[in-house]
Amino acid sequence: MAEIRFEGAGVTAGGRTILGPTELVLREQRIAVIGGNGSGKSTLARLVNGLVEPTVGQVLVDGLDTVRQGAQVRRRVGFCFTDPSAQLVMPTCVEDVELSLRKRLPRAERRAAALATLERFGLADRADVSVHALSGGQRQMLALAGVLAVEPDVVIADEPTTLLDLANTRRIGDLLLSLPQQLILVTHDLDLAARCDRVLVVEDGAVRYDGAARDAVADYVGSVV
């Protein structure tokens, strides 16, 4: 597992604290981040691969600074957004996965690798279908396939089941928790969070509770009742 260090890392914008200075060391395979809307949990997750840069302190992924060595960090840390349309940019499914592979494989090898990835995620028959013709669950699966095609060490999933129905929520959740990669999962699904190894509860721009999954979930539920 990677070692992810928050060394006083925080974010302010427009005079407002989005995430206060935070000290964390994350080494577990499955880490969930829970909290209310606007609590700062997505900001915390986005700091890990440099989508958001700290205004104070620093974040290190196995010693790599997410600001100074951002390109190296992003090769190791994949990010899956809540809305897959934020990352599905090519006309067809196979082309979208090929795009993910552009820095990893020469052009002549990309299509075969992309097709193999689609097969792995049950989307082989959708290869030449428009990404806009997919169901919500298929779009999220395709977005995740594109992230995993480049074999990152760490996968960050930011509320990946929020827009899905129950069946697809379970399917995507089970897939994420079965990954060999280290997972940082931002979620409102407390059942999913409880299946992780460690849970961070974020409230008002700070990590208020950090502990074993079921204890952290119980603490969060108690705080909002």
Kindly tell me if the per-residue pLDDT of 225 is higher than 80: no
Mean pLDDT throughout 55-74?
Answer: 97
CB neighbours of residue 89 within 10 Å: 11
Q: pLDDT (tens digit, 9 = 90+) per residue, 100-134?
A: 999 889 999 999 999 999 999 999 999 999 999 99
| Contact indicator for 155, 176 with CB cutoff of 8 Å | yes
pLDDT, averaged across the chain: 95
Place of tokens 């079965």: 178
Give pTM, 2 decimals.
0.94
How high is the pLDDT of residue 103? 85
How high is the pLDDT of residue 124? 95
Q: pLDDT (tens digit, 9 = 90+) per residue, 125-165?
A: 999 999 999 999 999 999 999 999 999 999 999 999 988 99
| Contact indicator for 48, 115 with CB cutoff of 8 Å | no
> How far is 165 from 161, CA to CA, in rounded Å?
8
Domains and CATH numbers, the chain: 4-89+151-224 (3.40.50.300)
> How far is 95 from 117, CA to CA, in rounded Å?
12
> How far is 185 from 200, CA to CA, in rounded Å?
10
SS3 29: coil
Mean pLDDT throughout 50-79?
Answer: 97
